[in-house]
Structure 1
Amino acid sequence: MKVVCAPEKLLPVVLDENTEYFSLYTIPANKKIGHIAQDWRVRLKKMGLYPDVVTWDFVTIAMSICAADLACLRKKSADGWTREIEINITVCNKANWIQHINKLQDAFRFLTGDFWEITLNDGGDPPLEPVSITTSSADCISLLSGGMDSLIGAIDLTEAGRSPCFVSQMAKGDSKKQSEFSAAFNSKVRHYQWNHRIKVPHTTERSTRGRSLIFISYGVLAATVLNKNRPIELFIPENGFISLNIPLNEGRFGSLSTKTTHPVFLSIIQDIFNAAGMQISIKRPYQGYTKGEMIKNCKNQSILLKHIGNTTSCGRFGYYNYQHCGRCVPCLVRRAAFLSAGIVDTTVKDYYFDDIGKLESAREKGANDIGAVARACLLYRSNGINDVIGGSLAFSSNSAEGRQFYADVVENGLTELESLLVKHGVL
C-alpha cells in the first residue's frame, strides 16, 4: 500500500491508481485526492501560533500517518489485518528527521501493528513567519479529551497549583464538554481545540490506531507558546490498566488491542523528542493507578462529582447515538471504577446495555467484551495474574518501574472488573 502526502503543487497530474494521495493543508482541485487540515497555516496564524520548523514537520508527519491509517483498508492486506504501508511525506527540512526514521517507523509499527516504510522529501510549505507572537502564562500542557481520566488529570493539576494549557482533539459529542471542563479549571489560560480535518476520497478504515499520535502532536504544537527556558511537561492522563490494554483473550493480541498511551509507544516518542532536540517531557502520572483508584485519589471530590457523569468513556459512543453502550471494555472499566470508588454512577443518559447480566447484552451483534472480561477474571481467579498477562509485560524488564509495578495495575484492574461482573451476576 502506497501513500503520498505533499502540497498540491507537488502532486502528480496523472495519478497512480494503486497509490493514495493527500494534499497537505489545502483542498485539491482533483476530487480523487484526499486532503489534510485545510487552511491549517491560516488557522494557526489567527491563534497567534508560529511553530518552529521541527515542530511543524512533526505535526505534518503525525497527520500524514493518521491519513494513511484511515485510507489503507486492512481487508486489502494479505492477512486481512496487517498492512505494509509505504508513505512518502513532504516536509520543510527532512535533514532534521532522516536520522530518526527508524525510531518513527518503530513507534508507528507498535502503535498500529503495521509495517511502515517512511520516505521524506523537502519542499513542504513552511509555517508562517511571526507577526505578533502569542505567549501563555501556562506552565505545562495537559491533554483534555472529555474523558474521565483527563478530567481527573485537569483537577489534580489545578489543585496542585499548576496552570495547565489544555489541548483537545475535537470529536463529535465531546467538544462541548471539553470546553466546559477547561473553563471550569483554568479559564485564564487558552484552551486549544483542533481537528485534523482529514478527508479520504473513499470508504475509510474504521480500526484506526493513529489518533493518539495527532493528539500528542497537538500538545507539542501548543507548547510553542510556553516559556522554553526548560522542557515543557506534556501530561497524558490515562489510567494504567487501560494504558497497558492487556489482551483479554487469544484473539486480542497485537494491534487488535489499542496501544494509544502504552508506555512502550510513549517511550519511543519521548526518545524521538529528545533526539530531535524538542523540549518536551511526556508525563504519565496515572500509569500506576486503575480508574477506580484515580477517582478515589482525586484531589477535589466535590468538583469531580459535579462533572464526572458528563465524561465520555465508551469505545462505541457514536454508534449508540452518543450514549455509553455499557458493555465495551472502556465502559466496563468505567462502571467498575464507580463501583470500586463507592460513588453513584451518574453517567448521563445511563447505559444502552444497562444490565450486563442479561443474555441480550452479550448476544447482540458486535464484539463480546463482557465474555472476554469474564474469561480474564476467571483465569486470574483460578491461575493467578501471570497467566492473564502472558508475555504482555516483556517490555517492563527494561523499564524504570519494573514488572511488578505493571502487574499490580493489571491485577487491581481485574479485581475492579470482577466486582462489577459479580454484581450483575455474570460471574
Structure 2
Amino acid sequence: MDNPFIKEFGVLPHELFLNILTSFENDIDGLILDVVDVFSTIYYMDIMTRRKNDQGRTYSVSIPVTNINLWESNKASLKKLIKFVSRDDVNFQFVQIDKKFLGTSLPLDFGTFNNVSLLSGGLDSFSGAFHNITQGFNTIYIGYKLNTFEQSKQETIANFVTSNHTNSLGYFFNKLNCNKVEPTQATRSLLFLCLATAVAYYYRVRDVIIYENGFLSLNPFKNGRFTTKTTHPRTISLFNTILCSLGIEQRVSNPFIFETKGEIINRLDEDFKQQIKYTHTCSRSRQNLHLQDKKKQCGTCIPCVLRKISLAAYDNEIYDAQVYDVGYEGKNKDITIDQMEDLKSSVEYFRECKRDIDDNSLLLTLGLKKSYYDEDDYYEKTNRMLKRFSREVERFLDKYDIF
C-alpha cells in the first residue's frame, strides 16, 4: 500500500514541513518525525476524501515509522482519537524504516522558551498571545498558512504579536499545495499540534499551548450539524496519551478551557483590541462559499455568531463592527435568503444551547471525564463557564433582538 502523501508530494511530511529546522538524528528524533508523518498524512487524507451528508468515512493508510512495535501498540489510541475528532474509521498499516533528517537552517541559539503556542490568526489564539505577554512567557509561535483571504490577516496578526512580544520566535508553515476536495478539515488541529510538538521538541520546550475558549472546545452537537472536536479536552488527552506512550515529553494544554470567549477578549488592552478586526473567525470563507463582499467574514456561520455574542457581551462591538457581510443586527438591506437562513440556524443553535445550559441538561451530554483534566473540580468549573456563557448569549439576544 502506497503512502498517499508521498504519492502526492514525493517526500514524507517531515521532509516537507521541518526543513526550517536543522537536524533530527537519534531514536527519539525519529519518533518525532513519525508523529509529524502520521498526523500530517491523516490530515491529508481528511482534506482529500469527500464526506457524504456529513458522515464519517472509512479509509486505509500506510505510514512509514521508525519503531513499528511502538506504533502498533498505539494503534487503538490513534483510531479512537481520529474517530472522535472526525467520525472517521482509519485502518493503519505501519511500515518499518529508518529516518534521519537534516534541514536547511543553520543551528542557532535563541535562548530558552516557556512554551510553544499556536497562532492561527483567530481571536482566541490572538488573545492567548496577549496572555503570554502579560504573564512574561518566552514563546515560540506556530502558524499554518491558510487560503489567500486568511493569509494576509494571519500575517498582520503575526507581525503585531511578534513586534509586541520581544521574547518570542515565529514559525509559520506553508499550506499543502494540493486541491483539497473536503472543506471541513476536522483533523486540522492535529496537524497544528504535531508541528508544534516537533518545534517544541527541537527547542527543548515541554509545554505546547493551544488557546481556545471553553464553549467552542466542547462544541455541543445540535440540530444535526457537523461538529468537530478539535480542541476538546478528550482530544488533547488522547493526543497527550500517544505522546507519553511514545516516550515524548511534550504535553499539550488549553489554559482557556474554563473561560468564555467574551471574558478572554475583554481582558485585552486597547492596543490589542484595535487589532481584533484583523483576526479571522469565519468558517464559510474557509470553505470557499460565496460571500457578497469577499473582503469580509460572513457574519452568519456558527463561529461568526459566537464572535458577535462574545464581543457584544462586554460592549466591544466597536472593534469589529465592520468586518461582516451581515452585521450584528442581521438586517442588512441586501441580505440574501441563504444568508438569512444560515443566520437563523446559527442563532437557533445558540438559543438551544442556552436553554440546555439553563435547565442543566447540556453538561450531561458532553461526556466529560476526570482523566481529561488536571483539575479535580473540572465539572464545577465547566458548569460555571457554561452559565456565564448563557448570560452572554442572553445579552446578545436582548441587544439585537434577532428573530
Query: Counterpart of 1:102?
Result: 76
Question: 1:240-273: CA deviations, max 9, x gaps?
Answer: 01111112x3313xxx111110111111111111
Query: Counterpart of 1:423?
Result: 399
Q: What is the CA-CA distance between 1:106 and the residue it aligns to?
A: 0.8
Query: For the residues of structure 1 that align with 2:394 and 2:337, how far apart are their CA atoms?
Result: 20
Q: What is the CA-CA distance between 1:410 and the residue it aligns to?
A: 2.7
TM-score calculated relative to the size of structure 1 = 0.81
Q: What is the CA-CA distance between 1:160 and the residue it aligns to?
A: 1.0
2:66–2:98 contact (8 Å) kept in structure 1 = yes
What does 1:26-425 align with in structure 2 at a 5 Å threshold?
A: 33-35=7-9, 41=15, 44-48=18-22, 50=24, 52-75=29-52, 81-123=55-97, 125-128=99-102, 133-137=107-111, 138-172=113-147, 173-174=150-151, 175-197=154-176, 199=178, 204-227=181-204, 232-247=206-221, 249-252=222-225, 256-298=226-268, 301-318=269-286, 319=289, 320=291, 321-347=294-320, 349-358=322-331, 363-364=337-338, 368-374=342-348, 376-377=350-351, 380-381=354-355, 384-387=358-361, 389=362, 391-396=364-369, 399=372, 400-425=376-401
1:70–1:208 contact (8 Å) kept in structure 2 = yes
2:208–2:251 contact (8 Å) kept in structure 1 = yes
TM-score calculated relative to the size of structure 2 = 0.85
Change in 2 beyond 3 A, CA 1:304/1:122: same
Query: For the residues of structure 2 that align with 1:133 and 1:181, how far apart are their CA atoms?
Result: 26
Query: For the residues of structure 2 that align with 1:66 and 1:133, how far apart are their CA atoms?
Result: 29
Q: Which AA in structure 1 matches 2:347?
A: V
Question: 1:351-383: CA deviations, max 9, x gaps?
Answer: 101154439758316973533433542674598
Change in 2 beyond 3 A, CA 1:130/1:382: closer
Q: Which AA in structure 1 matches 2:280?
A: T
Query: For the residues of structure 2 that align with 1:145 and 1:98, how far apart are their CA atoms?
Result: 32
Query: Counterpart of 1:18?
Result: none
Q: Which AA in structure 1 matches 2:379?
A: R
1:244–1:259 contact (8 Å) kept in structure 2 = yes
Query: For the residues of structure 2 that align with 1:124 and 1:414, how far apart are their CA atoms?
Result: 52
Secondary structure at the aligned position of 1:190 is classed as strand
2:30–2:100 contact (8 Å) kept in structure 1 = yes
RMSD: 3.0
**Any gaps of 5 or more consecutive residues in structure 2?**
none
Q: What is the CA-CA distance between 1:37 and the residue it aligns to?
A: 6.9
Query: For the residues of structure 1 that align with 2:353 and 2:321, how far apart are their CA atoms?
Result: 33
Query: For the residues of structure 2 that align with 1:164 and 1:414, how far apart are their CA atoms?
Result: 33
Secondary structure at the aligned position of 1:193 is classed as strand
Question: 1:404-425: CA deviations, max 9, x gaps?
Answer: 3223323322332232233222
**Any gaps of 5 or more consecutive residues in structure 1?**
6-20, 24-32
Q: Which AA in structure 2 matches 1:177?
A: T
Query: For the residues of structure 1 that align with 2:170 and 2:366, how far apart are their CA atoms?
Result: 36
2:12–2:37 contact (8 Å) kept in structure 1 = no
Change in 2 beyond 3 A, CA 1:49/1:154: farther
Secondary structure at the aligned position of 1:251 is classed as coil
Query: For the residues of structure 2 that align with 1:131 and 1:192, how far apart are their CA atoms?
Result: 12
Secondary structure at the aligned position of 1:73 is classed as coil
1:22 matches 2:27: no
Question: 1:206-234: CA deviations, max 9, x gaps?
Answer: 22201111100111111133236xxx111
Secondary structure at the aligned position of 1:191 is classed as strand
Identity %: 22
1:238–1:286 contact (8 Å) kept in structure 2 = yes
Change in 2 beyond 3 A, CA 1:42/1:111: closer
2:282–2:297 contact (8 Å) kept in structure 1 = yes
Q: Which AA in structure 1 matches 2:172?
A: Q
Deviates most, 182-191 or 256-265: 182-191
Query: For the residues of structure 2 that align with 1:217 and 1:382, how far apart are their CA atoms?
Result: 35
Query: For the residues of structure 2 that align with 1:40 and 1:328, how far apart are their CA atoms?
Result: 34
Q: Which AA in structure 2 matches 1:110?
A: F
